[in-house]
Every structure is written in structure tokens, then in C-alpha cells.
């Protein structure tokens, strides 16, 4: 700093003496002699500038204070926007990386590239403004002194550059911190900001990254190996249900492309059937439990067989629940009755669930008809779908027979599935081209075009001030002679 001051002063003195030297030259050459007053004037001007440099700094800071211009506000403003944009770009690029496994909403895949590059350019513009602010904040006095040094170089070699630098430093020091005020004045960017935050459903993206995805299909069977139709398989991690898929009439569920899938990491699974939560084997699955078999289903390549250990299936939505005390030895479904032979270790209750088509007329236990049928209605997904009959049975081998006649009622149930990937990408599926371009257009306008406009305005003011500082012609008296 002292070096620059001393250099500027020495250069001013040198300029002055060169001017005087030209005055004293005994050569009657007007073209040369004209430089003498010019140089003397320049030297005095640069010296005035040099000695008022602390006045200039204080004045600039005072004016900046008058307008409430603060570098910290500006830098925080820029940093906040850059961090938002960078998280969004990371989100988008990680989604593109997953794109080979997951079919995204087409709108997102087609727009991902342009979105990324637009965000990149916006970030670049903000970074440039940030750099400019940091340089000005840090080197304000140094740049001002450098301008004065350049201004003091003899023969006006760098006078315009010097005055330009001085004007630039003064104007930008006052004006640049007011950039957020200017942008808020023209177009408030708060709405764009909130839209942008909606654009990145970051938490869900993190989950997809953490849990992974596997496209699998499988069969859900009962203890006898019979397929369970219309059962609901649920995948649970940390108490949160991430996926739920229903089996078809053959007991097969498909967690395939594009929007289904299952988590790749260790997942607890349960099977829900007619409102009952049933035990499964295995109860937890991870990647190693699947076998690779890409020929079973078109959309998935991993296979898994899940056995529900505590039921014996009779028909659709109809089954017997067994526990440790009851062992089902035979189960026959006839035209108008069901014949069940069980071995019971104690006096207990046999739970038989029959769908609403079965209108049970009588229940016999060891050929003795039960006086009263106790049953409960089972609702599943808000539809009455079955009835549970509670049949008391004694210890030992027991023969249970349920007579029924079939009623022709439709078995309508709407099993609600939860698609793993669709759920994660739900935030993105609501996106449309117009909403994305709307948001990007807004931020492009607020964070690139408006700052550029503002910088152009400041540059123009600096140019005018530079003319005021360095553009005036010397008016020292000299006779035009010879």
C-alpha cells in the first residue's frame, strides 16, 4: 500500500519535472512545448487525487452506508442461490445416473440436459458476480491506489485506464452491494425460489440413492405351496412402508419396470390378506435372497418365493389360520361343503375365513352341529370381503365340516398398491414442460439478465465518472507562438 502511494507520488513529481524540463528547452518547437503545461497540470491533478484518496474511500463508504449497501448481504444472497442451484443440479444429475435403471417421467429425461446446462450457466453468472464482489471488497483500496498510480504515469500513457479504474472502484463499491435490492425492486425472486425448491424433492431422491432399487417378481404361497391370490406384499424399512404390491390370481406379484421395483437393501416384508397380517418366510429380504431369472417376466429379472407359513388357502380370500396348537392334516373343498381335518394339541378355536360368496348354513365339529355360528365380518380396503368363523374345537383329531351354498355376489375389492419408484418420483411426475421452463425462465431473468443489466448500468456510470476524473483538457496558459 505504502509502496503504491510512494510510487504514485514519485511518478507525479517526475511528470511535473518533465513538464518543467520541456518548458526550459531552448528549442522553438510548438508541438513539443505544448506538452509542458499539460504535464504540469496532470502532475498536479494526480497529486490532488493521491492526497484525497482517503477522502475518496471514506466518501464511497459513507455513500454506501447511506444506501444501506452491505457486502455481507450481497455475498450471502449469492451464496444462498448458488447452494440451492448446486443441490438441484446434483439431484438432477443423480436422477440421470439412475435413469438407466429407472424410467423417469419422460418430461424429466428430455429436459434434464437443458435444465442442467441452464442451471450451470446461472451458477456461472452468480459465481462471476461473487468473484467480482469478493475482489472489490478485498482490494478496494488497492485497486483505487493502482488507478491513481496509472493516472500519474507521465505523458498520459495510462491516464484513461487509471481514471477508469478509479471510477470503477468507486461506483461498484457503492452500487454492487445494492444488487439484491435492485432485483427485488424489478422482480421479486421469492416465488421463483420456492418453485425451485419444490423442483428438487431432495429427501426422496436421497432415499432412492440409499435404498437402491431391484426389479423383481415372485410368488406368494401358503404353507402347502398353494398360491395366494390377491394378497398384498408390503416392503418396510424403518417402520415406513416403501412398497406394496398385490398378487394376481395365480399368486404372483410383479415389482417391475418402469415405476414399481423394490428396495435393494435389507427390507422387512409382510403379507397382508383380507385385513390379516401374516407371517412370512423369509421375513426379511435383501439382494442375496433373489435369484436371477430374467425369463419369467418381461419387466423384472429377479425372482423370489415368499411362503406364508400360518395359513392354508381354501379359495380366493378364504383360508384357515393355523398356529402352534393346530396342525391341518387334510383340507377338501367340495361343491357345497368344506371338509377340514385338524390335529389340535389343546381345546382351542379354529379360525376359518371364507369370502362373502360362501353362505355357511351349518358347521359340524366331529359330526356334531354347532348351535350358534360366531363370525366376524372382515373389511379390507373399505369393502366387505369375507367372514371369519370362530369354531371351538377339542383336543385331538378333529373333523370340521362347513356346509354352504354359493351366493352370486361379486367379489369387488380395490387393493391399493404403493409403487416404490413412482412414490419416490412423485414430486417429479407433477412436472410439466411449462412449469419447468417457467421456473427456469424466472430464475434466468432474476439471476442472470437483471444482474447483467445492473452491471451494465454501473459500468456506464463508471465510464461517465472516468470522463469526469480524467477526461478534462488542461487549461494552463501557454501562448500559441511560432
Rule CB under 8 A: which residues touch another protein?
Answer: 3, 6-7, 9-11, 13-14, 16-21, 23-26, 28, 33, 36, 40, 479, 481-482
As measured in angstroms, the least distance from the Cβ of 91 to another protein is 53
What is the rounded radius of gyration, in angstroms, for the C-alpha atoms of the chain? Answer: 42
As measured in angstroms, the least distance from the Cβ of 472 to another protein is 20
Distance between CA atoms of residues 190 and 181, nearest Å? 13
Distance between CA atoms of residues 406 and 352, nearest Å? 16
On the CB side of 233, how many CA atoms lie within 13 Å of its CA?
A: 37
C-alpha distances out from residue 232 to 254, 274, 277, 280, 421, Å = 11, 9, 10, 12, 17
Closest CA to 231 of 106, 318, 109: 318
State the cell numbers at 208: 432412492
Phi, psi at 78, each rounded to 5°: -70, -45
Antiparallel, parallel or unpaired: β 267-273 and 276-278: antiparallel
**With respect to another protein, which residue has the nearer C-beta, 33 or 357?**
33
As measured in angstroms, the least distance from the Cβ of 16 to another protein is 5
As measured in angstroms, the least distance from the Cβ of 33 to another protein is 7
Number of helices (H), then strands (E), belonging to the chain: the values are: 14, 20
Output DSSP code: residue 116. H
As measured in angstroms, the least distance from the Cβ of 160 to another protein is 21
Is the link from the previous residue into 258 a cis peptide, with omega within 30 of 0? yes
Sheet holding 383-393, edge to edge: 311-315, 318-321, 348-355, 383-393, 374-380
**With respect to another protein, which residue has the nearer C-beta, 47 or 84?**
47
Distance between CA atoms of residues 427 and 422, nearest Å? 9
**With respect to another protein, which residue has the nearer C-beta, 14 or 328?**
14
Counting every residue, how long is the chain?
A: 482
Closest CA to 205 of 88, 126, 292, 347: 88
C-alpha distances out from residue 106 to 14, 99, 224, 258, 428, Å = 72, 11, 44, 11, 10
As measured in angstroms, the least distance from the Cβ of 10 to another protein is 4
**With respect to another protein, which residue has the nearer C-beta, 38 or 462?**
38
As measured in angstroms, the least distance from the Cβ of 13 to another protein is 5
As measured in angstroms, the least distance from the Cβ of 117 to another protein is 47
As measured in angstroms, the least distance from the Cβ of 36 to another protein is 8
Provide the β-strand partners of residue 418.
244
Amino acid at each position: 500500500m505504502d509502496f503504491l502511494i510512494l510510487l504514485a507520488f514519485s511518478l507525479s513529481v517526475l511528470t511535473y519535472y518533465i513538464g518543467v524540463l520541456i518548458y526550459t528547452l531552448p528549442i522553438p518547437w510548438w508541438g513539443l512545448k505544448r506538452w509542458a503545461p499539460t504535464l504540469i497540470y496532470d502532475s498536479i491533478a494526480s497529486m490532488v487525487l493521491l492526497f484525497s484518496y482517503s477522502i475518496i474511500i471514506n466518501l464511497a463508504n459513507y455513500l454506501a452506508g447511506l444506501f444501506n449497501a452491505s457486502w455481507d448481504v450481497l455475498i450471502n444472497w449469492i451464496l444462498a442461490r448458488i447452494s440451492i442451484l448446486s443441490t438441484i443440479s446434483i439431484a438432477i444429475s443423480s436422477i440421470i445416473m439412475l435413469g438407466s435403471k429407472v424410467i423417469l417421467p419422460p418430461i424429466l429425461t428430455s429436459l434434464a440436459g437443458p435444465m442442467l446446462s441452464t442451471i450451470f450457466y446461472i451458477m456461472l453468472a452468480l459465481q462471476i458476480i461473487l468473484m467480482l464482489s469478493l475482489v472489490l471488497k478485498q482490494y478496494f483500496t488497492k485497486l483505487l491506489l493502482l488507478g491513481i498510480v496509472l493516472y500519474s504515469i507521465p505523458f498520459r500513457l495510462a491516464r484513461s485506464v487509471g481514471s477508469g479504474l478509479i471510477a470503477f472502484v468507486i461506483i461498484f463499491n457503492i452500487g454492487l452491494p445494492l444488487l439484491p435490492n435492485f432485483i427485488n425492486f424489478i422482480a421479486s425472486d421469492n416465488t421463483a425460489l420456492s418453485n425451485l425448491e419444490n423442483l428438487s424433492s431432495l429427501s426422496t431422491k436421497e432415499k432412492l440413492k440409499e435404498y437402491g432399487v431391484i426389479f423383481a417378481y415372485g410368488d406368494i404361497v401358503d404353507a402347502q405351496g398353494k398360491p395366494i391370490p390377491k394378497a398384498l406384499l408390503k416392503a418396510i424399512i424403518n417402520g415406513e412402508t416403501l412398497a406394496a404390491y398385490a398378487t394376481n390370481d395365480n399368486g404372483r406379484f410383479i415389482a417391475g419396470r418402469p415405476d414399481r421395483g423394490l428396495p435393494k437393501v435389507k427390507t422387512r416384508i409382510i403379507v397382508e390378506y383380507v385385513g390379516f397380517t401374516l407371517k412370512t418366510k423369509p421375513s426379511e429380504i435383501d439382494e442375496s435372497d433373489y435369484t436371477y431369472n430374467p425369463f419369467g417376466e418381461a419387466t423384472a429379472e429377479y425372482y423370489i418365493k415368499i411362503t406364508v407359513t400360518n395359513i392354508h388357502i381354501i379359495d380366493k380370500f378364504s383360508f384357515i389360520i393355523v398356529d402352534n396348537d393346530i396342525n391341518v392334516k387334510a383340507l377338501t373343498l367340495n361343491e357345497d361343503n368344506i371338509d377340514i381335518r385338524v390335529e389340535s394339541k389343546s381345546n382351542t378355536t379354529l379360525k376359518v375365513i371364507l369370502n362373502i360368496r360362501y353362505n355357511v348354513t351349518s358347521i359340524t365339529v366331529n359330526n356334531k352341529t354347532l348351535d350358534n355360528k360366531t363370525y366376524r365380518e372382515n373389511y379390507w380396503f373399505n369393502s366387505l370381503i369375507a367372514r371369519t368363523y370362530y369354531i371351538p374345537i377339542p383336543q385331538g383329531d378333529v373333523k370340521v365340516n362347513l356346509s354352504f351354498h354359493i351366493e352370486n355376489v361379486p367379489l369387488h375389492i380395490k387393493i391399493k398398491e404403493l409403487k416404490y419408484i413412482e412414490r419416490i418420483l412423485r414430486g417429479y411426475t407433477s412436472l410439466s414442460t411449462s412449469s419447468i421452463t417457467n421456473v427456469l425462465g424466472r430464475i434466468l431473468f432474476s439471476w442472470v439478465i437483471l444482474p447483467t443489466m445492473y452491471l451494465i448500468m454501473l459500468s456506464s456510470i463508471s465510464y461517465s465518472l472516468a470522463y469526469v476524473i480524467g477526461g478534462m483538457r488542461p487549461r494552463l496558459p501557454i501562448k500559441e507562438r511560432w
